[in-house]
Structure formats: structure tokens, C-alpha cells
Amino acid sequence: MPFDAAQFFAVFARYNAAVWPAQIVLAALAVGTVGLALRSRAWSDRAVAGVLGLFWIWMGVAYHWLFFRAINPAATLFGAFFVLEGIALALVGGVQRRLHFRFGPTLRGVAGALLLAYALVAYPPLGYAAGHRYPATPTFGLPCPTTIFTLGLLLWAERPMPRGLVAVPILWSALGASAALQLGVLEDLGLVAAGVLSAVLLFV
């Protein structure tokens, strides 16, 4: 790993200071997408997919390319994959209308709800308990909590759902294990669990 924990958290601090109050806007959009998925409208599926696409393009550009690349050259490649994921979500769900989000009392539905709750409600206090203080902490709109959120919503997507859409989120969840174990981002253990759970429910 080409950086240490101090450098890693310093990137969060610079990002959070630079983009404020975008974190609040992104979190509000996330809550809104959950509401749209729960109370379906004729246009809601396209809106949810569009917001998810926006999140991934934001993470690729605003985090990976503008901040994380300063300490990790691999962020150039990470950012490209994140932007492609965002375009794919917007294209498949927003233009082609092939994503339909519904909550149901199924294993996938409950698992998705748990991941959404973890990303939006549990992740911040767990980070605080681990000793991470704002602004040097991952906020919503950064890759790990937002990946958990994305996997939660994709578990609500009705079949047939293009399963290639979960490839980048699941691969990122595997990379999250290194941050959780080597850098002390213990809240990212939930990211690892989200990736494993999603892979099992969507592919096995």
C-alpha cells in the first residue's frame, strides 16, 4: 500500500473541507431514493438509477481523481471504473428502463434494507466509535458507505437485473477489506460483508 493511515485520513479531511456542504445534499438524495423505491411512481425507477449513476460519477471524479490520486496512483484506474459504473447505472436504469426497484419481504429485500440502514444510519456512529472525527472521516458520497448503499438498492432490483452492474461494487467491497484491516477503518467491515452477501444472493 503506497500510503499510511495518516495520509489516508488526511485525504478525507481535504475532500470534506473542499466539497462542503455536498455531503448533506448527497445524503438527502440517498434518503430520497429509498423513499422512491418504497413508494413507486411511473418515473421513480429512472430517478433512482439516475441518482445512483450520479453518486458513482461523483466518487470517480470528486474523490478518486481529485483527491485520492494524490497518494495512490491506482486511483486513476479506480476513478475510471467508478465513472463507467455510474454511466452504466444511468444508461441501463435511466435510459433503457431495465431497473425496477421494489422492496418485498424476501431475503433479498430484507438484506437490502439492512445494507441501506447500515450505510445511512449505522456507518457514521461506528466510525465515531472507532475514533474517526470529522472532517477526517469517510462521509456519505465517499466510496465505502456509498458502495454499501448501492448494493442495498440493487438487492431491491427486480429480476431480471443486469448482474454486471454489481461487478464494480463487489470488487470495491473486496478492496475495502484492506482498509478495514490495515488502516483501522473498522466500519468498512460492513462493506466486506455487503459484498459477500450481495454476491451470494445475486449469483449463487
Tens-place pLDDT, residues 125-161 = 999 998 999 999 999 999 999 999 999 999 999 988 8
What pTM, to 2 d.p., does this model score? Answer: 0.96
Q: Does position 40 have pLDDT exceeding 90, yes or no?
A: no
Q: Tell me the percentage of the chain whose pLDDT exceeds 70.
A: 100
Q: What is the pLDDT of residue 65?
A: 98
User: How far is it, in rounded angstroms, from Cα 112 to Cα 155?
Assistant: 5
Contact between 198 and 170 under an 8 Å Cβ cutoff? The reply is yes
The upper half-sphere exposure of residue 155, i.e. CA atoms within 13 Å in the direction of its Cβ, equals 29
pLDDT (average), residues 75-96: 97
Which band of pLDDT confidence, cut at 50, 70 and 90, is reported for residue 177?
confident
Instruction: Write down the domain spans for the chain.
Output: 5-203
pLDDT of residue 200: 95
Provide the pLDDT for residue 148.
97
Residue 52, judged by CB atoms within 10 A of its CB (0-12, 13-18, 19+), counts as buried
Give yes or no for residue 181 having a pLDDT over 90.
no
First to last CA, the chain: 32
Counting DSSP H helices and E strands in the chain, the numbers are 9, 0
pLDDT at 180: 79
Q: In b/e form, how buried is each residue of 118-154, taking b as 16+ CB within 10 angstroms?
A: bbbeebbebbeeeebeebbbbbbbbbbbbbbbbbbbb
- Specify the pLDDT at position 194: 96
What is the average pLDDT score of the chain? 94
